[in-house]
Structure 1
């Protein structure tokens, strides 16, 4: 198969291990952009093997499809991304991963105690989160999300 002729969806499925239906779904989500040949068949860049592999890896790390689409939008369309293109993307991806790692560490370290959820059900919440001060930072487990009891934000 030549690059100019593209690769079929079946070939892409075989190379990535994805079902054809999954590839079509990723297409509908804007993660790959095939074209149609003269016979009306979908054709993909060979580089879409790498794009879809990236999608699969990013999903394993907990990234949503909109987040993945945003990351992939940094790559050039219509041509095979170069090593430099992927390196530039990896900087952003690394930053996102670092943030997730920090969140996971906070969750691991605080899972057995108060996670800043604002429920005030533990006796130590009276010391750690008196009067549900965490609510001033917004909804959800604020201390797990990175807010700190001493980072007094004004509402």
Structure 2
């Protein structure tokens, strides 16, 4: 049996799913990957800390930012287990992500600036379009396909 204090700090998986808008199956997946951790009640039901609502919210935001699961896992690993993360804990993660977000914003800005001249041109040439085909090794051979994919 859990104590009143422990019971107040934990919630069942269904409530966590409702509070975050994430499917129970996704929460189990996050648990399997170590992004959240459950405790078992006396009746062997999964219980999560209320602070896991914030962890899952962070996962959703990080995914929208394009972070890979390994990156999310690395950031969440820096948070304390067993207690609600503090503002300082979250600020540390924020500082790690800030450079990544700045890089993404710069790339998007560069893409936006070059997009008008690239739409519809179809060149995919290294000399004209470094946006879509920056590693084009066949550009020196002129436009069109130059690689024979059929065996000789």
Do structure 1's residue 65 and structure 2's residue 61 form an aligned pair? no
1:4 is matched with 6
Decide whether aligned partners of structure 1 residues 126 and 61 sit closer, same or farther in structure 2, where only a CA change above 3 A counts: closer
* Counterparts of residues 1-155 of structure 1 (less than 5 Å): 4-5=6-7, 6-112=10-116, 121-122=124-125, 125-126=126-127, 135=135
Q: Equivalents in 1 of 2:97, 2:106: separation in Å?
A: 14
C-alpha contact (below 8 Å) 1:3/1:46 kept by paired residues: no
* Structure 1: gaps of 5 or more residues: 115-119, 136-155
Decide whether aligned partners of structure 1 residues 22 and 127 sit closer, same or farther in structure 2, where only a CA change above 3 A counts: closer
* Structure 2: gaps of 5 or more residues: 136-152
Larger Rg: 2
- CA deviations on 1:86-109 (whole Å, 9 max, x unpaired) are 111111122221121112222222
Question: TM-score scaled to structure 1, two decimals?
Answer: 0.69
Q: Number of aligned residue pairs: give it.
A: 127
Q: CA deviation at 1:57?
A: 1.1
C-alpha contact (below 8 Å) 1:3/1:45 kept by paired residues: no
Let me know the Cα RMSD of the aligned residues: 2.7
SS in 2 for 1:104: helix
